[in-house]
Each structure stands twice: as structure tokens, then as C-alpha cells.
Amino acid sequence: MPENITTVDVRAKGADTSGHEPIDDLLTDHEHRDRTRYVFPPGRYRLAEPFEAFDWGESLEFVGEGRPTFVIEDQFDKPIFNFGYSSGNRKPGNHLRFEGFNIDITEDGVGQPPLWALAKYGLDVHNVRVFGERSADGSPLSSTIFGILRETGRGEINRLDMPFGAEHRGKKDQTHEAIGLNIVKGKHNGLLRIKNSYIAEHANNGFYVYRHSTGGNVHVRNCISRNNGLTAFRIDAGDTCKDSNVLIDMDDLPYDGACGLWSQGGGKFENIHIKRESGQNKLIRDTQGNITESFKNITIDNAGDGDILNLHFPGGKWVCDGLTVRDTNDDPGDQNDYFTSRIKRDNVVLKNVEYSTQGDKRRGIHFEDSKKIKVEDSHFDVHEVALNFKDCENTVVDDWNEYLRGAINR
């Protein structure tokens, strides 16, 4: 962060630390916005209106001491904190730091997004936890939005926790439900790292990193996505998601389960563990376009009903090196063929696969109308059929280790 910072202790300036009287005027009226560090000692600070900051110059910092809490008791159709996000000409400043806060939205009816934060060159959001579930009446959809505007910019989101998610709105289309973490579309051009963060119970995407062809990259590390809807982790070209977990364990999910991983723009997943105890949706899907989708060392413990792999879009190469599947579902489901994975596309490579099922009618992988399929160095322990090829061409099964159960049908 830049030097020559003016520090403002909000308690010393008269801010109420009991959470009863709003502190909005103190924040918006302070004359030293640029190169200002607002320090919040321990306490509860009420915001009666959304806080917005644009064009703040070189740097702006909000720093909590002893994990103070922002208390929100009123509903408004804007983010609680908006640093630099605008559809118009307003822009963020060069550097932003937001660190060490709880955001309390437990009051009934409060549903606005907690934090949108952009910066041109430097963005640091650390140790932020949201208490309470966003109400279904809250808008916009994205709970958090982050981004870095300049190509040389760098940023880090570390320990962002949103464990309570958002109420299900009951929409027919999950794209109209709340999103957990979003990267600003069309403006992110720098490098952003997201680490040690936990996002749960958003019926739309959990970690929505895909940016619709904008520049920049995002790297996700050591994160947990739990009971999110459309996709747990959704990444773009050049992005990586590593050492992270997907957990689907909510009874009676109000939406159609969760898709675990989606390399929509061609990013890379590595060292990912997916545990599904319920749910109807596919765990790993593919995307359209002439791109390579790469997966490495993926472990799946599945007791749900949806497909484990579901690949059906025409596109580039889809590669997974290291896949462990442990399927413990005893219910064969409604499908007549009982396969647990389905692939209907070309250019698929599966290497070092360990695939097992326990149910009497839980089969392996069904390929249909596919070309250039290669399975090597793999071991299946499944019911009746390990690999089923229907109307396929140029399929290769190499270095096949001994398997306990499961035939190869061509």
C-alpha cells in the first residue's frame, strides 16, 4: 500500500460503538478521502445507508481492530459497501484495503449484497465474515464482486466467509438466484488470488470466476464451496482452482443440487475434493468452444443421484489425469442404463482413473457418438460394465490394470 497515509480513528472522531447510532455521516463527510486509513476499534457500527466510494485517488483503507462488526438493520437496493463499481464513468482509485470486519445482516428483511470492491492497481480484502442470510427480497444478485482494472494490478481475497448464503427466491431459472462471489465482467484485467475462503448456500454460482471474455486471471486456492447451486467453482481461460473442496450435504436442497466444477473458459482444476451426499445435478461438466479443459487429481465421494461426469458439448480437448471416484449410492436411480457418468463428445482423455461403485446397479461410464476417446492406466470396480462405447470411433483403452468388476462393451 502507498505511504503517507492519514489515519482516522472513527471512535475518536465520535463514532458510536454500540451499534445504535449510525456512523454514515462521519464516513461520508470526512474531508481526507484519498490516502486515508479508517481504523475501527472493537465494537458494533451501524450503517443506515449504503456506503459508496469512487475516484478516491491513490489509496483508501478500512481496517478493523479486534474484528468490529458493521450492523445493518435497514433494507436498501444497493450493496452495503461499494468501492468503485459503476456502470457509468465513475471509477475506483488505485489501491483499496478492506480488512478485519464482520458484517451483520441477521435482521429480518435485510438482503442487499455485503461488499463490492474494485481497484485499479491493488486490492486487498482480508478476514471478512458475513453473519446472516441474505433475504430473498434483496438485490442485486451478486453478494460480492471483485476486480482489478489494470493489467499490472494485483490483488488478494483472503478469508472471506459467507456461511449463511441467501434465501432461495423460488425462481424457475437458477440464473435469477443469488450469487456468492463474482468477478466484475468486462473490467477485470489484473491478477487476483482468492484464498482460504468459504461460500455456502447460494442457489446460483458459488465462486463465479468466469468473466465472459474479459482479460486478467484469477487463481483460487484452499477454498470451500458448500451447497451452492449452478456451479461450485466456475473458472475462465488462464485461471486455476487448486487445493479446494466442494461439499453438497444439505437435506432437501431447494434447488437442483450443484454442479461441482465447470472450466467454462478453459481453466485448470487440480487437487479438488468433491463430496456429495445429496443432489441431482452433474458434478463435472464441460463447455463449448475450441478450448482445452484440464483436470488433475480430482477425488469424488458420491452418494447423490446425478451424473458424476456429464460431458456433451462439442469443443476442444477434455483431459483428466488422476480421477478417483468412490460411489456409495445404493439407489440405481431413474435411468434405464444405470451408468454413473455419461460422455457424448469427442477428444476425451482419462488417465489414472480409480472408479468404484457399491450399488448393485451402479455402472461406470457410458460413451455415445464419440470419437478420439482414450482411457489409460485405469482401474474400475463397478457393477457389470466399466466402459460402454455406443456408436463410437477411434477409442483406445491402454495399459488397463486388472479390475475386480466391470466389462468393456464396444
Q: What is the pLDDT of residue 29?
A: 67
Task: Show the domain range for 369.
Answer: 286-410
370 belongs to a structural domain: yes
Q: What is the pLDDT of residue 377?
A: 92
pLDDT digits (tens, 9 = 90+) for 198-246: 999 998 999 999 986 668 999 999 999 999 988 999 999 999 999 999 9
396 belongs to a structural domain: yes
pLDDT digits (tens, 9 = 90+) for 43-69: 999 999 999 999 999 999 999 999 999
384 belongs to a structural domain: yes
368 belongs to a structural domain: yes
Number of domains observed in the structure of the chain: 1
Cis, bond preceding 140 (omega within 30 deg of 0)? yes
Q: What is the pLDDT of residue 296?
A: 98
Q: What is the pLDDT of residue 186?
A: 85
96 belongs to a structural domain: no
pLDDT digits (tens, 9 = 90+) for 326-349: 999 987 666 667 899 999 999 999
| Mean pLDDT rounded to a whole number for the chain | 90
Q: What is the pLDDT of residue 404?
A: 45
296 belongs to a structural domain: yes
Q: Residue 278 half-sphere exposure, CB side, CA atoms within 13 Å? A: 13
Q: What is the pLDDT of residue 330?
A: 83
Highest mean pLDDT, choosing among 75-89, 95-109, 130-144: 95-109
398 belongs to a structural domain: yes
Confidence band of 258 (pLDDT split at 50, 70, 90): low
pTM of the model: 0.95
- 229 versus 119: the higher-pLDDT residue is 119
